[in-house]
């Protein structure tokens, strides 16, 4: 499936305050990109806008996925095109068990509107085993009483169930212990067997060692101010975000 994500000069406001101020980003099929940036720079805003959260107003620019104008599409239509967001703060849905929730999510994006129940359960068991999750989780309320790390692992179980073409992981690594991070990364890497592209939002180097992005972008004050390879993360860890604006200015003058 040949689906490229193209974000062009994207401006987004919430309650009248501009948050994204001209984001450009291009993710080709099969590519892994990392997005880093200080707290409040707009990373989660960008993921919410990509998935069609109604609170955000796109005031300028465009987003296309596989040539389709995403801004015309409702969140469920974007999911049907193969987009998926693993939330920074997954919410609980008490009373809806994990298995039922995943089944209805899988039904909703299936071309026939329904997945085969036997295949679904077989897949679910296999995916839970792969993610080293206790089978009892399937019958618990979605995220109800889950620990922070368990919620993040649940996001990845959803991702393995839905097999998206493009996934956005918004700080999935935050709150995961060292072993859980390894298991979750193994789960994500399993999806790479098929054409799959990924935007990993993170504050830390560690998950990038597992997911090996080829491209790294730094978002500051609502703009991608610097793009490069994964080596940028080393400089970030050493020097923090202060040096970024200087490096960005150099990159810009070199491009002129
Ligand atoms: N409803 C709102 N009203 C006003 N400002 C908002 C609203 N929602 C988000 N913002 C602001 O938008 C900015 C970007 O927030 P966002 O959650 O996208 O940041 P982030 O880069 O994901 O940060 P973090 O690394 O802490 O997760 C923040 O300054 C936030 O306070
Ligand atoms: Mg965020």
**What is the CATH number for 46?**
3.40.50.300
Of residues 204, 206, 164, 205, the one with CA closest to residue 188: 164
Q: What's the pLDDT tens digit per position in 72-122?
A: 999 999 999 999 999 999 999 999 999 999 999 999 999 999 999 999 999
Quick one: CA torsion of 133, 202, 42, 241, rounded to 10 degrees? Answer: 160
Q: What's the pLDDT tens digit per position in 128-165?
A: 999 999 999 999 999 999 999 999 999 999 999 999 99
Contact, 60 vs 10, CB < 8 A? yes
What's the pTM value of the predicted model, to 2 decimals?
A: 0.95
Contact, 64 vs 36, CB < 8 A? no
Contact, 203 vs 171, CB < 8 A? yes
Instruction: Give 107-122 as a DSSP string.
Output: HHHSTTS---HHHHHH
- Interval between CA 181 and ligand 2 midpoint (Å): 18
Please tell me the predicted confidence (pLDDT) of residue 158: 97
Q: Which of 10, 15, 44 to mutate to test the pocket of ligand 1 (most atoms within 8 A of CB)?
A: 44
> If you ran DSSP here, which 8-state letter would residue 194 be given?
S
Contact, 106 vs 127, CB < 8 A? no
Report the number of distinct structural domains present in the chain: 1
> If you ran DSSP here, which 8-state letter would residue 230 be given?
T
Integer Cα distance of 105 and 67 in angstroms: 24
Q: What's the pLDDT tens digit per position in 45-55?
A: 999 999 999 99
Please tell me the predicted confidence (pLDDT) of residue 166: 97
Q: Strand pairing partners for 142?
A: 93
Describe the crossing of helices 148-162 and 178-191 by its angle, rounded to 10 degrees: 10
CA distances from 122 to 92, 116, 127, 135, 141 (A): 25, 10, 9, 12, 20
- Interval between CA 121 and ligand 1 midpoint (Å): 38
Please tell me the predicted confidence (pLDDT) of residue 194: 84
Residue range(s) defining the domain that contains residue 84: 5-255
> If you ran DSSP here, which 8-state letter would residue 169 be given?
E
- Interval between CA 43 and ligand 2 midpoint (Å): 5
Q: Residue 154: how many CB atoms within 10 A of its CB?
A: 22
The distance of Cα 101 from the centroid of its chain, to the nearest Å, equals: 19
Integer Cα distance of 216 and 197 in angstroms: 14
Q: What's the pLDDT tens digit per position in 227-241?
A: 999 999 999 989 989
Whether residue 69 has pLDDT greater than 80: yes
Please tell me the predicted confidence (pLDDT) of residue 1: 58
Answer yes or no: is the C-beta of 19 below 6 A from any ligand 1 atom: yes
- Interval between CA 43 and ligand 1 midpoint (Å): 8
Q: What's the pLDDT tens digit per position in 192-208?
A: 888 899 999 999 999 99
């Amino acid at each position: 499936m040949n689906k490229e994500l193209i974000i062009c000069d994207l401006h987004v406001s919430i309650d009248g305050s501009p948050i994204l101020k001209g984001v450009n980003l291009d993710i080709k099929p099969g590519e892994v990109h990392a997005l880093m940036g200080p707290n409040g720079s707009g990373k989660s805003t960008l993921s919410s806008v990509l998935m069609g959260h109604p609170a955000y107003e796109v005031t300028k620019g465009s987003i296309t996925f596989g040539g389709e104008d995403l801004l015309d599409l409702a969140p469920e239509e974007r999911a049907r095109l193969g987009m998926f967001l693993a939330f920074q703060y997954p919410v609980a849905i008490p009373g809806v068990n994990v298995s039922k929730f995943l089944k209805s999510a899988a039904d909703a994006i299936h071309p026939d509107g329904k997945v085969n129940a036997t295949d679904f359960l077989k897949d679910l068991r296999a995916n839970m085993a792969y993610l080293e999750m206790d089978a009892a989780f399937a019958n618990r309320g979605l995220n109800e009483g889950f620990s922070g790390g368990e919620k993040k692992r649940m996001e990845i179980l959803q991702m393995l169930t839905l097999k998206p073409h493009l996934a956005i992981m918004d700080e999935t690594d935050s709150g995961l212990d060292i072993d859980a991070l390894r298991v979750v990364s193994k789960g994500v890497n399993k999806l790479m067997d098929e054409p799959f592209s990924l935007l990993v939002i993170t504050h830390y180097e560690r998950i990038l060692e597992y997911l090996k992005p080829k491209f790294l972008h730094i978002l500051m004050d609502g703009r991608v101010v610097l793009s490069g390879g994964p080596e940028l993360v080393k400089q970030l860890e050493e020097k923090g975000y202060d040096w970024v604006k200087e490096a960005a200015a150099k990159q810009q003058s070199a491009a002129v």
